[in-house]
Structure 1
Amino acid sequence: MGLNKNNNRRLLFRLAKNNLLSKKLSAFFSALSILLAVLLVSTLSLYLMGYHFAEQQILEKMQHVIYMNVTAEQVEELGNDERTQLSVPYKFSETDFQAGDAKYHYTFFGSHDGAIETYQLAEGAAPEKYNEIVVDKTFIDALKKSADPDSAAALENESASGSAPALENGGRIGSSVTLDTGSGMENFVITGLTENAIPSSSYSVYVSREFAEKSDLMKQIPYEALVRLLDTDGMPYTAFTTLIYQLAADHGISRPDVNPNGKFGESLQKGNSGLYVVFFVAVLLFFAGGLVIYSIFYFSVMSRVRQIGQFQTIGMTPVQVRKMIRREGWLLSAVSIPTGLLLGGIIAYILLPSGWNWKNYGIICLLAAAAASFIVQFSIRRPASFAAKITPVDAAKSTGSDEAGRRRRKKRASAESAAYNAAALQQLKPADAASGAFPAQHLSPARRKPLTPCTLARQESRSSRKKWRLTTASLAFGGILFMVAASWNSSWDEEAFSRQDFFRKGEYHLSYLYSHTSPRTYGITDMQLTGHLSEELKHRVRQIPHVKDVQTTHTATGVIERNGSTFTQSFYPLTENDTEYFQLDAEGNNTYEYLAEHDAVLITRPELYEQITGAPFVPGEMLTVRYFDGEEHQIELEVAAVASEVVADPPSGDVDEFCMADVTMKKLWKNMNTTESFTIFAEDYEKNGLQVEEDLRELISGYDDLSLFTLREQIQEDSGMIRNNRTQIYGLSLFIILFSLFNLVNTLISSFASRKKELSMLESVGMEQRQLRGMLLWESLLLALPNLVITLTAGSLAGFGFIRYMSRTAPYLHYRFPFAAVGLYIAAMVLLPMAVSYGCLKEQDRTSLVERIKYQD
């Protein structure tokens, strides 16, 4: 006959609501799974979109291109060009001065706000006179510390420089400060303050144009022009690059002095790899959540077989049963999804306030809500279909088990046998009870073996096989992902990661201190002519205790003129033994014999230089090269070969892009010392590394043009990034495991609740609390064991395969089994079910045995 169609929808929603309220635990875990999936996906999406939005906001106040090595007149001409919006003059001194524990340098910007925001004033005004400056408040704090006569920083600063920076009136606006300018201590007046929350390794002291043009420190430094273009909205990337190089040509600026804003160029290309990350994470999270929701709804349907049969008896059709189950999913979604989106928005705002945008939030809400609703409905589709197929006859015969049909007799026999065995508990001897074993003579004829908590637990696992399999599948999915993440983190060799460049074959990189903001025509050639990186110094380095070896890298710098463009380039010498260069897949002839005979060059990875010069390199073309060995020379060099790939492990530790035979370099630069750097090897670096570093710094303290960079410093720079990566990877895998744990806990608690009467009957016929706890603990172990087997086998293989694949492009990955992570995982998988079972048993003891026997689910 069916239900009244006028009240059909309202009645089904009411029934669905009552079903959820009657199964509060299952409803809670289902809602929590949906909420967490929506929360993490929305937070990650909003953060990535917010980062992109914040980046766009920053780009709106940044230059589009920097023109280097320009004059003040060229800066002004660029500003007056109708194709530009603004041109800001800029100078920067790379020379650092010490103030206690803090370093500082001098910077000049022609403006501090407007279309190009160079720095933000917290208070005060920009400097205008020679002795006026703007500094950061954290730098003021550092000066106060260094000015304290009792501080160790002040004593160290005074002993190093002979005098310390002096600060008056606490560093307020209008107060004066004495700073080192390289030509002695000078007095400055603070006209403005900035406020940066993040401490800096070297603080900027913002000076006036007068200081930038007249001081001995900065007057020789050429200007740079920070330029914003007009009408860049929707501009293609190719049009952008064409315009900036055309501007350079029109104002007499060489192509190598054009420095485009890479971030702005990327924004024009409209590429956002973060979206792929969001999609991948969303798929993992929604799959994990969907598996949990499917399991929970399946268990819920199995526990309500009698109820569904009663509904059908009074006229509910299979279609209405299916709709009722689906409406339960809609009700859960209505509660969980808005809550997850709200919390996701709050967290994303806290993480990145500058990236908050209401439009982005609305888009994410719509997409996440639609995806979550689809996953929920898809997950409950099969449980709903199963519920619709239940007949009143099946419901009347149901005992709440999840097996049907051909196994029903076996289960009934098992139940009868279990009841017989439970009754046998009354006849146990004290010694048998103490041991936890049951004599075979008391058992049913079908079960002639000792009845222990373990055998009872095994019977329960057999009778709830589908439930156990679903829970194991959910746990194994999270466990495999956890093993992959743990393998990645444990296989990350931090030292090998930091050794990728300069430190492939050593721990210390000793080179010339070259200022890239004040470039020289022939690079470090002037320094090479002084010969400080000499054989004598190399010999003195070798004499340092625990120095194992010193490797020398040679380069020589020339100026290449091509297609009207000029750029400075280092040339690397190749010997007959550098076979890796001669095996590159190159267009042209890249054999050593050809390079040496024709005084030719091999060019690798030419894309940047082709962009600078506006034309691809062709084997056989001639390059005009100017070089300096104390005198200027010019020569035509042939391009022997061009290779798009580079040598994976170059001797210099850097990418060798322009290479020539060693005999050619000898012809051009003759007896000049072409040493560019020393790579120094330590003996037992972990033990002797710090002492060797101290000895090296003491050795070069008398050379003001040498710089030492160490593996220790590189590792410190990389450690924060590595730590963040590890945290993010573990965090994602733990989130996925969390879904599985929800399913595990729900399975244990719902199983305990559905068997409350059965357990009470066992207790009433003589089963002790100790034996009952043992049975539940064994059930927990039997539930956790299959997951651990799958996780430790399939997960380990997946982790090993992932590391082997990634190590092709990431040589710092060396597979190591994650023993510590696996130990914690095993402990959690074993102890958590035990804790849940123990807690359920404790909670049950609060109710009297008689009331528990009367319990009806």
Structure 2
Amino acid sequence: IVPYKHSDSFLMDGIKFEAVYMPAGFGIIKSYELVSGTCPEQYNEIVIDKNVQLELGYQLNIGDTITLPTAGSKTEDFIITGFTDNVETGTFYFYVSPAYAEQGVLLSDIPYSALIRVNGATEMGLIDFENTVYRLALSQDISRNQLYFNSKFCSSLISGSGMGGVLLATLFIAFSSGIVIYSVFYLSVSNQVSQIGQLKTIGMTEKQIKRMIRKEGYRFCLFGIPAGITVGIIFAYLLEPNGITIINAIATSIFAIILGIIIVQISVYKPAQIASNISPIEATKYVGNDPELKESRVRNRKNHIRLSPYSLAVLSEKQNRKKHNLTIASLAIGGILFMVGATFISSWNPDSFARMGNLEDGEYYITINHNTLVNPKPYGISEYQVDTPFSQELMEELQQIPEVKEIYATERTAAIIEYHNEQLEIPIIPITPDNQKEILKTLPVDWTYETLVEQDAMVILGTSVQKEVYHTCPSIGEKVTLRWFDGTEHSIDVLIAGTSEKSMNEGFYLPKETIEKLWGDMDLTASLTLSVPEYEKVGKSVESKLNKILSRHPDLVMETLQEVKASSANTIHNTSVQVYGVSAFVIMFSIFNLTNTLISRISTRRKEFGILESIGMTKKQIKKMLLHESVLLIIPCLIITVVAGTLMGYLLVRILSANGLTYFQYAFPFIPLLIYGVCLIITPIIISAICLKIQCRNSLVERIKMAD
């Protein structure tokens, strides 16, 4: 359990600050991390985010004094004892001492909250976790409305939550790994045909040959899997440091060992079968050519093709068609996954993402500052609305700002419903022409909007969300007691006339006529959205004017597009790192396969290169031939990557957009594809050049003799 307090945000020179108290270094519950200095101990000592220096325009050092506003026109001097490096959110946090948490102006009137971590919670399902918390709360006489769950942690407990993408990536990697392993052993068997034939000549059985190949696979597992697990843990830590625990690492390692052995044994099955079927006579005749090449040679005797680096590259491709196709398949899998990931990131519109929710129609969002931790009003925002926070005077002040083109007001309020011995504070949303069509679809056949008005009935949209929030939800046909506040408490029984399980506009809806009947002429404006067309140019100026106006309205708080963009940029960055990280992991296997194919192809053709050079082919022509061979590998791979990857990426974006994530707007990932293509083209050229250079260290005669 960690004690915790935080103040309301406040402004100084247009910079938003917030005071926080929580002890540092509190074990498994992560608090703030110092990048330099020490924790505050005395009343006026603080630790502050080092990034605030950029906003202030001057440098801060440990021991410096900074003056911050505290109440009204009053200020306090604080001594900096340390710095943190927080993720940019638009708000700069400073951490105070225990003495200030008890006596300071910003925090003394705010009650403590407790950050609690439940033992064994990560092993529970969501329902078990919630029930455990409720039992603990009940044993300490804590009511449910005083509990706040970590939504991200709860999401992680949902069965299968986030595992679909992980499983898909795992299957991609496993399949790609299988192709690489198969290719390695296929090439190994191809290069050892003569040796296998000799072993059969001296009495080695087919069963023993299979066992030999399989043992070779186990030997690879012995060295490769531990190395892979080590690299994987390091890679995972770089992607998500908080996801690494000893239990997770052990469980994942065991799974990786089992999966790795299975994949290796499946992959070596076919090469082992091929090796066991080689007869001693075939082995003596084997020269590494496929039947297709023999047929092409027959045709060539009749047609007499002209020899050139390109025609020799084509002949080599036919000779090694199976290896060639395996390499293309491996590269294409990695390329397709990369294209899908790149399309996902490129199509993620940061501006649209930041505007999802409150800022869809504007750049500034002003709402009632209802902090349930500081001031837990039972009837929510309706207790503020009694005093008309969005007064006519305020509206006139806002309208006088010349840069503000439109002001959109949103009406809603709050009430309490009594259901199953629970008191649930709910948002009350009026039915309007914009949402009426969706509302009417939930009603019984013989019901109309007029029936709703006559019956004072309620409609609930998005019951699945309501159950997540309240852990219960009334059903259609049930009656609940509705309690509301307009300066005085009232109650009435209302019928639930309709419900929908899923909706993008979840909430509790009443007809406007019913709301007027219950709340009278009370102004139910809950928020304002201000549209500023020239936001990029005049945004800071408008924000300064709005802050000055809102300083006289302490019950209101403002959210800006700039703040939301700063916060969402971190989300996009983290997601990009993870998506490209998984893609790079798969591509790495593909590159291994490509490298293995190229090295094996060149190392087993020393005699061929020597003979070609002896009959007059220059080193430049050999390099050109190898370049053509690389092109014959890369071009099909790029075509498959672009066509299939673009199609799958486009479908992914369309599916996401159709499911409400409208900030995904398809954009072709031209630059990532260009970088991928350049790397794919350069890699085989470099590998071929290095291998050829190493071979050319020996004389022509030595190379021909070495191959014999």
* Fold similarity call, TM over 0.5: yes
Q: Select 2:333's aligned residue among 477, 496, 502.
A: 477
Aligned in 2, Cα 1:643/1:766: closer, same or farther, shift over 3 Å?
same
Q: Distance in 2 between matches of 1:711 and 1:399?
A: 69
Task: Give the superposition deviation at 1:114.
Answer: 11
Residue ranges of structure 1 left out of the alignment (5+ in a row): 1-60, 63-87, 156-166, 418-443
Structure 2 partner of 1:626: 484
Alignment pair present for 1:506 and 2:362: yes
Structure 2 partner of 1:838: 689
Task: Give the superposition deviation at 1:626.
Answer: 3.0
Alignment pair present for 1:243 and 2:135: yes
Q: Select 2:664's aligned residue among 813, 818, 838.
A: 813
Would you say the 8 A contact 1:100–1:142 is kept in 2?
no
Identity across the alignment (%): 33
Amino acid at match of 1:725: T
Superposed counterparts of 1:436-585, under 5 Å: 446-447=303-304, 449-517=305-373, 518-525=375-382, 527-534=384-391, 537-538=394-395, 540-542=397-399, 544-561=401-418, 565-585=422-442
Q: Select 1:665's aligned residue among 515, 524, 538.
A: 515
Alignment pair present for 1:410 and 2:295: yes
Q: Select 1:341's aligned residue among 229, 246, 252.
A: 229
Q: Distance in 2 between matches of 1:613 and 1:779?
A: 63
Equivalent pairs, count: 697
Alignment pair present for 1:387 and 2:243: no
Q: Distance in 1 between matches of 2:371 and 2:76?
A: 26
Aligned in 2, Cα 1:768/1:612: closer, same or farther, shift over 3 Å?
closer
Task: Give the superposition deviation at 1:386.
Answer: 0.4
Amino acid at match of 1:796: T
Aligned in 2, Cα 1:101/1:341: closer, same or farther, shift over 3 Å?
same
Task: Give the superposition deviation at 1:460.
Answer: 1.9
Aligned in 2, Cα 1:566/1:534: closer, same or farther, shift over 3 Å?
same
Q: Distance in 1 between matches of 2:681 and 2:114?
A: 65
Structure 2 partner of 1:804: 654
Q: Distance in 1 between matches of 2:673 and 2:182?
A: 28
Task: Give the superposition deviation at 1:348.
Answer: 6.1
Structure 1 partner of 2:186: 298
Show CA shifts across 1:678-735 (max 9, x none): 1122326556655554554455455444322122221210111111111211121122
* 1:855 match: secondary structure: helix
Structure 2 partner of 1:737: 587
Show CA shifts across 1:535-565 (max 9, x none): 5544554554453422110123334455654
Structure 2 partner of 1:638: 494
Would you say the 8 A contact 1:510–1:707 is kept in 2?
yes
Task: Give the superposition deviation at 1:793.
Answer: 2.0
Task: Give the superposition deviation at 1:329.
Answer: 1.5
Show CA shifts across 1:176-211 (max 9, x none): 998765277698999x98986658822232445994
Task: Give the superposition deviation at 1:661.
Answer: 1.5
Task: Give the superposition deviation at 1:851.
Answer: 2.1
Alignment pair present for 1:791 and 2:641: yes
Task: Give the superposition deviation at 1:379.
Answer: 0.7
Q: Distance in 2 between matches of 1:825 and 1:116?
A: 41
Q: Distance in 1 between matches of 2:39 and 2:676?
A: 58
Show CA shifts across 1:600-619 (max 9, x none): 33233456877869774553
Superposed counterparts of 1:250-329, under 5 Å: 251=141, 255-259=144-148, 273=161, 279-329=167-217
Aligned in 2, Cα 1:352/1:534: closer, same or farther, shift over 3 Å?
closer
Stretch deviating more after TM superposition (449-458 or 477-486)? 449-458
Amino acid at match of 2:531: F
Q: Distance in 2 between matches of 1:816 and 1:264?
A: 32
Q: Distance in 2 between matches of 1:612 and 1:677?
A: 23
Stretch deviating more after TM superposition (665-674 or 373-382)? 665-674
Residue ranges of structure 2 left out of the alignment (5+ in a row): none
Q: Distance in 2 between matches of 1:556 and 1:353?
A: 42
Show CA shifts across 1:253-291 (max 9, x none): 655334467788789x79574666655443322221110
Amino acid at match of 1:256: N
Task: Give the superposition deviation at 1:383.
Answer: 0.6
Q: Distance in 2 between matches of 1:791 and 1:340?
A: 26
Stretch deviating more after TM superposition (389-398 or 680-689)? 680-689
Would you say the 8 A contact 1:255–1:566 is kept in 2?
no
Structure 2 partner of 1:103: 17
Structure 2 partner of 1:432: none
Amino acid at match of 1:317: T
Amino acid at match of 1:837: S
Superposed counterparts of 1:72-471, under 5 Å: 92-94=6-8, 96=10, 103-105=17-19, 107=21, 133=43, 135-138=45-48, 170=63, 181-182=70-71, 198=86, 201-208=92-99, 211=102, 221=110, 236-237=128-129, 239-240=131-132, 243-244=135-136, 246-247=138-139, 251=141, 255-259=144-148, 273=161, 279-344=167-232, 360-401=248-289, 403-404=290-291, 407=292, 409-410=294-295, 413=298, 446-447=303-304, 449-471=305-327
Structure 1 partner of 2:533: 683
Structure 2 partner of 1:81: none
Alignment pair present for 1:596 and 2:453: yes
Task: Give the superposition deviation at 1:770.
Answer: 3.1
Task: Give the superposition deviation at 1:482.
Answer: 1.8
Q: Distance in 1 between matches of 2:634 and 2:621?
A: 20
Task: Give the superposition deviation at 1:94.
Answer: 2.5
Show CA shifts across 1:53-76 (max 9, x none): xxxxxxxx46xxxxxxxxxxxxxx
- Larger Rg over CA atoms: 1
* 1:337 match: secondary structure: helix
Show CA shifts across 1:452-487 (max 9, x none): 322222222222222211211211222222222122
What TM-score comes out, normalization by structure 1 length?
0.70
Task: Give the superposition deviation at 1:797.
Answer: 2.0
Q: Distance in 1 between matches of 2:491 and 2:267?
A: 74
Alignment pair present for 1:853 and 2:707: no
